[in-house]
Structure 1
Amino acid sequence: MIFKRLRLNIGVTDSDFVSIYPEAIKHLDRKHWTPVSIAKVASEFLAEKPGTKVLDIGSGAGKFCLIGAANTKGHFTGVEQRQELVELSQKLSAYYYIRNARFIHANIQSVGFGAYDAFYFYNSFYENLNPVERIDDAVRLSSDLYHLYSLHIVEQLARCRPGTRLVTYCSPTTIVPSSFKLLDSLKGGLLKFWEKTLSI
C-alpha cells in the first residue's frame, strides 16, 4: 500500500501515487500536483512538531495533504474551491484511513489563517494569469482574482504569530510578507522554506 510505504519511508514515485486517482485526474499531476519528493521534505519542515496544524492553500486533488499526513504527525487541512476535487480528496482520505487530513470546500478569501501553525503554497492562483494552464472550466478565472487572492494571502500571513512556518513551491516571493525570513531553498530556488520572525 502506498501510504504504508510512505510511513515506512520506502520510496514512492509520482507514478505510484497517482495510481490512486481516476484517469481524469492523473494527467494533471505533472503540472498541478506537488511531486512526492517535494511533499515529503516540505511536510517535514512544516510539521516539525506533532500536532502542528498545516494549511495547504489550494489543495487540488489533495496530494500534498495526503502525503504530509502519512509522512508526519501533523494535521493537514486542504482548502480548495473546486467541490469535485474536495469530494475526491475526502473519499481518498477516508478510504485509506488518513485520519490527520481533512479538506474544505471554500474560496481562499473566506479562510482566516489564525487557526493554523504552518502553510504550504504551490502557486495555486497562477491559472488566473495563464488560463491555458487551467485545471478545468469549473471556476471563473481572471488576473483581478489572482491579485485579490494574493493580497489576501499576504494580509493573512502578516497577522500570523512569530514562529509560523511557510513553504512556497514555484511561487512568487511577493506573497511572502517581509516579516518572514528565508531559511533555506532547494531545487534551484523553486522550493523555499520560511519562518516568521517579527510581529507586525
Structure 2
Amino acid sequence: MRNQFLKWMGRMNVGDLVTDEVWDSFLPHSFQSLSPYQWTPISVVETTWDFLQNETVTSVVDLGSGVGKFCIHLSYLSQDQFSIIGLEDRSELFQISEDLKPKWNAHGVIFRNTNFLENFPRGASHYYAFNPLYETMKGNHSIDSKKDKSAMLFLRNVQQFKNQLYQCKMGTKLITYHGFGGSVLPGFRVLVKKELPLGEWMVWERI
C-alpha cells in the first residue's frame, strides 16, 4: 500500500484552505471512513493551536498519533515553532504518517512506532490525547481487530496511563479531546474545558 496513495499528491502550501475533507482525501479509503471517529478533526487542531500560541511550548507529544493528522496539521499551523512528536504502535499507521510528511512539508515532525504506555516520553511541556485507549474497549468504529479488547484491559491501561502522567513535572499540560479514558486525573487540575461541536476539549495541568 505504501506510496500507492501518494503518487498523485501535490504539496500543500501555508495559507491553502484545509478542511477535514481535503486532509482525509489523501488517506487510503478505508482510513477515510474512520476519520470522524479516530482522527482529530481540523477544528480541534485549530482550537489547540489557538491555546498553544499563548503558552511557552518546548514540545508537543501526541499519545496515540494514528495517521498523524494532529501532528502534521499542528506543524502546518505553527510552521514548526516547536518540536512535535507522534507515538503510534500500529506499524501501518506509523508508515502512513511518515509518507504524509513530505506532502505537508512537515519534515520537522517526528513519528515513532512505539507504545506510549510502555515507552512514555518524559520531559515534554505539552501532551495531547484523543481517547487513546479506546481501542482496548469493545466499541464501534475500531481501527481493526488486532488488539485485545476487554473492560479489564481498558481499566488496567487507564491506571497505567494515570501513573505515567503523575510522574510528569509540575506545570506539564495534557490536552484531551474526548478524554483520556477516565474522568479523574490525580495530580492534575483542569485549566480549560470547552464543549466543541464534535466533542469535549480540555486542558489539564500537573500541580
Decide: shared fold, TM above 0.5: yes
- 1:74 is matched with which residue: 82, 87, 92? 82
Q: Partners in 2 of 1:43 and 1:94 — Cα distance?
A: 21
1:178 aligns with 2:186: yes
Which position in structure 1 is the counterpart of 2:45?
A: 39
Moved over 4 A (4+): 46-51
Q: Partners in 2 of 1:71 and 1:105 — Cα distance?
A: 24
Which position in structure 2 is the counterpart of 1:138?
A: 146
1:190 aligns with 2:196: no
> What stretches of structure 2 of length at least 5 have no aligned partner?
1-9
Cα–Cα, structure 1 residues 50 and 11, in superposed 2: closer, same or farther, change >3 Å? farther
The aligned amino acid for 1:194 is: W
Taking every aligned residue pair, what percent have the same amino acid on both sides? 27
> What stretches of structure 1 of length at least 5 have no aligned partner?
none
Give the TM-score normalised by the residue count of structure 2: 0.82
The aligned amino acid for 2:83 is: H
Q: Partners in 2 of 1:25 and 1:48 — Cα distance?
A: 33
Which position in structure 2 is the counterpart of 1:86?
A: 94
Deviation of 1:132 (Å): 3.0
2:123 is paired with a residue whose SS is coil
The aligned amino acid for 1:20 is: F
CA contact (8 A) 2:162 2:186 kept: no
CA contact (8 A) 2:136 2:147 kept: no
1:168 is paired with a residue whose SS is strand
Which position in structure 2 is the counterpart of 1:102?
A: 110
| Higher helix proportion (structure 1 or 2) | 1
Q: Partners in 2 of 1:175 and 1:111 — Cα distance?
A: 23
- 1:123 is matched with which residue: 100, 118, 131? 131
Task: Tell me how large the CA RMSD over aligned residues is.
Answer: 2.4
